[in-house]
A and B are shown apart, each in its own frame.
Chain A
Amino acid sequence: MAKTALCLIFLAIPLPAHAQTPKAQMQCRATGEDFVYDCVVALTRRGKPLDGVEVTVGADMPSMPMAHQVRPQKARPGTKPGEYRVRLDLEMLGEWAVKLRLAGPVRDQLILHYEFDSKGAAPTRK
């Protein structure tokens, strides 16, 4: 309760926005199991690979926000710098807003829009 009250007070302090926003790209391929995909996330900041970040990946359907939430999964580091691997278990095919929650040296949340089909996923937004 005290922490929540402190947060409310802290929220009133203005801070500069958008400092060194990380960027993310994702590639997914279907595993053969219904709606399950193996995904590789590439994180960069100022054009350089972003390593050592704790990445948690969830997903939401844009047409029904706050419902159809996919249980967030922790991504494990991949083989290349700035690469993270995660398995996504969705509820259905279609467009999903994939949420990347970054913790550790960088705290942020990135939203990527992908259309998932029987083979893999393709981005739907620029």
Chain B
Amino acid sequence: MDAYAIGVLTNIGLFSFVALSAYLLLIAGEMSFGQQAFFGVGAYAGGILTALYGWPLPLAALAAMALGALAQLLVALPTLRLRGLYFAMATLAAAEMARILFELLRWRRSIDGELAGPDGTQGFRGIRWVFEHGIEPMHYLGIVGVLLALVVGLFLFVERSKLGATLRGIGQDPELAAAVGIDVQCVKLGVAAAAGALAALGGVLYAHHNTYIEPRNFDIMLGVHSLAYALIGGLGTAFGPLLGVLLDIGVLESTRFFQGYRMIVFGGLVAVLLVFRPRGLLDERTVRWLRQRFA
């Protein structure tokens, strides 16, 4: 496999984490335009821990996930009482606040005589853990793939469990869910924390794949895309957001014909799908039909 194909596949994997994070909130009935903030929290936290303090990547990833969960929990506590568009706007505002905080973040240390660490708008260079450990791009793709498969497996397990039914119940009718004794606020806070951790995991992997991050990497474009992937791919199964990423990055990005015009095609695709298939290609009805046909 050539370097370009490996790069595109790795990007598909990395985008999938943040898309799944948006999807998790969507099935619980909340539309977040702010998952890029937690992706950024994970990227900065993981990068700081490995590049400045020499932590092993798995430990740094766990710490970054905990921080991502905590950050999303802090945002969710005041915003989950909002509904629909108001919640979406609040998450967007929180994400922009986070991006501005990244622009102000200066955390520099001398490593082997060179200053390293986040330097505000100048970005954060030298997140070299993967290179220093001799991990080849193909193997890094394997690591991203294995972690993504574990996450998707966990999603599929939860979706078939009582918790999955509870989440979809809350997403479709929170009043009815509360009436049958479900603590809606508590479940939604748990979902928010899990979504934050998931986005942060994607962020850690992105920072170590790219070796460089900057605040602009975590702006509104990433948030809109992560939401759009879930909406294009479908809300019927965790494979939906993956299909959305695959369509955009896999087909549009890697097809030379679309390059430069990709955003126009992507925007049109979102608009058409929202009209004709508001819950995406793999919506609940399609997934049910597929299960009946192939199970």
Contact = CB atoms under 8 A, between A and B. Distances in A.
Interface stretch (A37-45, A61-69, A79-87): A61-69
Contacts, number: 128
A62 B124 CA distance: 13
Contacts of B128: 17-18, 21, 108-109
B212 interface: yes
A97 B145 CA distance: 25
B4 A72 contact: yes
B222 interface: yes
A111 B15 contact: no
5 contacts: A1-B142, A7-B135, A8-B58, A13-B133, A62-B214
A72 B214 CA distance: 21
Interface residues of A, number: 41
Interface of A: 1, 3-4, 7-8, 10-21, 56, 58, 60, 62-69, 71-72, 91-92, 97, 99, 101, 107-109, 111, 125-126
B253 A68 contact: yes
Contacts of A18: 51, 111-112, 114, 116, 126, 128
Contact of B3 (A64, A92, A101): A101
Contacts of B11: 66-67, 69
A111 B212 contact: yes
7 closest A-B pairs by beta carbon, nearest first, are: A4-B142, A111-B212, A66-B11, A18-B111, A65-B217, A91-B260, A18-B112
Contacts of B155: none
A115 to B, nearest CB: 14
Contacts of B221: 63-64
A92 B263 CA distance: 13
Contact of B132 (A8, A17, A126): A17
Nearest to A20: B112
Contacts of B7: 58, 69, 72
A67 B249 contact: yes
Interface in B121-162: 122-123, 125-126, 128-129, 131-135, 139-140, 142-143, 145-146
Interface in B154-192: none
Given A3-B142, A18-B114, A63-B216, 5 more contacts: A1-B142, A66-B11, A66-B15, A67-B253, A109-B131
